[in-house]
Amino acid sequence: MTETSRTDSSKRSIVKDTLEHRTSAPQAAQRKPSTPRPRPASLVDVTEYLDSLALEIDTAFDLSVANPYLNMATHLVRHHVQGRLVTGSSLVAASGVPYATGMRKLRDMLEAGLIEQRPRTKSGKTFSLHPSPAMLEQFDQLADRVRRLSIERFGGNQPEDGPQDYYYGDSYMNGQAIQPPAVLPEPLALPGGLRGLVHGDPTFMVMKDLKRQFEQVLGTDIHQRAFSIDRLRDEALRNAARRQSRYDIIAVDLPWIGEFAQKGILAPLDAIMDVTRLDPSDFHTAGWQGAHWGGRPYGVPSQTTPELLFYRTDLFAEEGLVPPSSTAEVLDVARRLHRPARGRYGIAWNAARGTALGHTFIMTCGDFGQPIVSMPRIAGGFDASRLDRGDFELRIDSDRALDAAEYLLSLMDVSPPNILSMSWYERIRPYAAGDVAMAYGYTLLAPYFELDPKSPAQGNTGFLPHPAGPLGSPIAPVGGYVLGIPSNLAPERRAAAVEALIAFTSPEAQKLYVQHGARTTPRYSVGADPDVRRLSPVFEAVDAMSWRDELQFWPRPPIPRISEVITIVGEELHDMLRGLTPPRIALKRAQHRAERALGQADG
């Protein structure tokens, strides 16, 4: 080995040791059970703490010397997480040592693979600096160590239900924590920035709040338009009629996949990218299958958000009730908890006219063991993978659909007085406020009570799959959105759009959404992440439902023109709920109108 190589090796060792020795835990670490669960330390928390501690140490003695490696590392990681640009000069300035010394230390960190450079201009003469995956991994481990060591050395409470398996003071589970997103090696070549069309729900709004962070990851500006569900579909259809797409990426509700694929609105992913880069096996099976049409993927799950039954565990305990497992039990416990004179009602659900009630009805048909279109029965439910053949029949006017309709009629007696105008958000708000004891709701709406310290439902909510009717099984109908690439996107933008699509749906990005308030994740790895599980019990509950094969997308079949069918059903059944038409007549009308919409009616 030459003297130069020895010097380089020594530098790499010094730099890595500066970071790595802080992640080692005492070998004799013991866990003491307690009740409160401390908030997990974030990377920003750790960097700010280390900066403060380093400042105290550096100024405590006249002979103290700053640690430039640590100072630059904490500065770089904090700015990365916050989505703020770091240049070489600003990083050297944060080192706490003279400029020439700081430049040498910066070169050491570059050579050690702890810092990555990305060109800021086409000429490549100027660079922005970013933490490498290795540095992010070490700091993520450090975040957990700082919290644990502080508790062990200076007192406090350890979570009694945290990871228990330790090896030399480390946890097997904590070793599986997903790191923050790393920047792309090259900025995306997208003149005018990345343009996205999304739904205006809490998860996509979290993505909007993280705009600055993802602009740094992608190296380009991000422009996002958000619409309600019906307006989102209309805008996607208008965009498909243009010569070139105005959007690089669009959000697509799962039931629209068949229509958008058949009309050529979305580009099949296997024609424009290597699909294995998405790690398909990591997605919840129902969410990944729901993104397919004719055996080809047309989008990447961005949200896999099943509709569940939320219930107040404290109220159930007070009344000595057990969680319902059947529709009959739902009605029974709802009647026992229904106290309108005290301003409390049994249950809230989607009953607003049109799209909202239509979704409720087709999923309730699934609870009673029947999809609204004919499909082959398979283990776990029905096979929706062959719907592209077009040989299905509508099953709206059937005995099991009648049972579903009559169940909804019975729910009216234990629902709030304004139930007929309740849709996606209106049903969750009274649950969060404590005005209803149970509510059907998507997991993406859980932040309305989980993140509200004033909500009586915070910390007092249980999560169940849909209780089943007499001939059905408990299911959690999968909702949510996939992100796809319009087929009319300009060819020169397609490769960059693919890279953005991979970045937005990666485990690293999905974990970041959850840490900022989202309550959906389409990936097993994110749901199993220890940091994620600390934030909400919903992730563990959904994972368990997935393993039990209760997550299913067939209750909302992605047939072409399904949106029209859902609207029709929602209109006819709204008249039924208002008492204008009997259930059987409402179903006959809905069947006939839906058949005409699909071109299946005679005459």
pLDDT confidence tier of residue 167, bands split at 50, 70 and 90: very low
Helices (H) and strands (E) in the chain, counts: 24, 19
Q: How far is CA 92 from the centre of its chain?
A: 37
Determine the Cα–Cα distance for residues 104 and 115; give it in Å rounded to an integer: 14
pLDDT, tens digit, for every residue of 245-260? 999 999 999 999 999 9
> What would the two tokens of residue 516 be?
């900022």
Nearest Cα neighbor of 268 from 288, 250, 295 is 295
Q: Is the pLDDT of residue 39 over 80?
A: no
pLDDT confidence tier of residue 62, bands split at 50, 70 and 90: low
Torsion of CA 203, 205, 207, 213, to 10 degrees: -140
Candidate from 343-352, 392-401, 533-542, 583-592 with smallest mean pLDDT? 533-542
Determine the Cα–Cα distance for residues 540 and 527; give it in Å rounded to an integer: 7
pLDDT confidence tier of residue 369, bands split at 50, 70 and 90: very high
> What would the two tokens of residue 491 be?
């060819």
pLDDT confidence tier of residue 556, bands split at 50, 70 and 90: very high
Q: Is the pLDDT of residue 341 over 70?
A: yes
Contacts of 358 (CB under 8 A, 6+ apart): 565, 566, 567, 568, 569, 570, 571, 573
pLDDT confidence tier of residue 594, bands split at 50, 70 and 90: very high
Determine the Cα–Cα distance for residues 272 and 356; give it in Å rounded to an integer: 35
pLDDT, tens digit, for every residue of 458-505? 999 999 999 999 999 999 999 999 999 999 999 999 999 999 999 999
Q: Is the pLDDT of residue 234 over 50?
A: yes
Q: Is the pLDDT of residue 27 over 50?
A: no
Q: How far is CA 139 from the centre of its chain?
A: 24
- How many Cβ atoms sit within 10 Å of the Cβ of residue 116? 19
136: part of which helix (H) or strand (E)? helix 133-154
pLDDT confidence tier of residue 1, bands split at 50, 70 and 90: very low
- How many Cβ atoms sit within 10 Å of the Cβ of residue 178? 23
**pLDDT the model gives residue 373:** 96
> What would the two tokens of residue 72 be?
């630059």
pLDDT confidence tier of residue 64, bands split at 50, 70 and 90: low
* DSSP symbol at 32: -
Nearest Cα neighbor of 305 from 292, 323, 295, 290 is 290
Instruction: Note the residue count of the chain.
Output: 603
Nearest Cα neighbor of 466 from 332, 324, 566 is 324
Domains and CATH numbers, the chain: 11-21+38-154 (1.10.10.10), 194-304+480-528 (3.40.190.10), 306-478+553-598 (3.40.190.10)
Contacts of 509 (CB under 8 A, 6+ apart): 181, 214, 503
Determine the Cα–Cα distance for residues 270 and 115; give it in Å rounded to an integer: 34
pLDDT (average), residues 550-565: 94
pLDDT, tens digit, for every residue of 65-124? 678 888 888 888 887 777 777 888 888 888 888 888 888 888 888 888 888 888 876 666
Q: Is the pLDDT of residue 361 over 90?
A: yes
pLDDT confidence tier of residue 151, bands split at 50, 70 and 90: low
| Percent of the chain that is helix, strand, coil (3-state, to 5) | 50, 15, 35
> What would the two tokens of residue 151 be?
């508790």
pLDDT, tens digit, for every residue of 498-554? 999 999 999 999 999 999 999 998 999 999 898 899 899 999 999 889 889 899 999
Q: Alpha carbon of 445 to those of 203, 221, 371: distances in Å?
A: 9, 28, 25
170: part of which helix (H) or strand (E)? strand 170-171
**pLDDT the model gives residue 14:** 39
Q: Alpha carbon of 31 to those of 147, 167, 530: distances in Å?
A: 13, 13, 17
* DSSP symbol at 421: G
Average pLDDT value over all residues in the chain: 85
Q: Is the pLDDT of residue 173 over 50?
A: no
Candidate from 82-91, 394-403, 431-440 with smallest mean pLDDT? 82-91
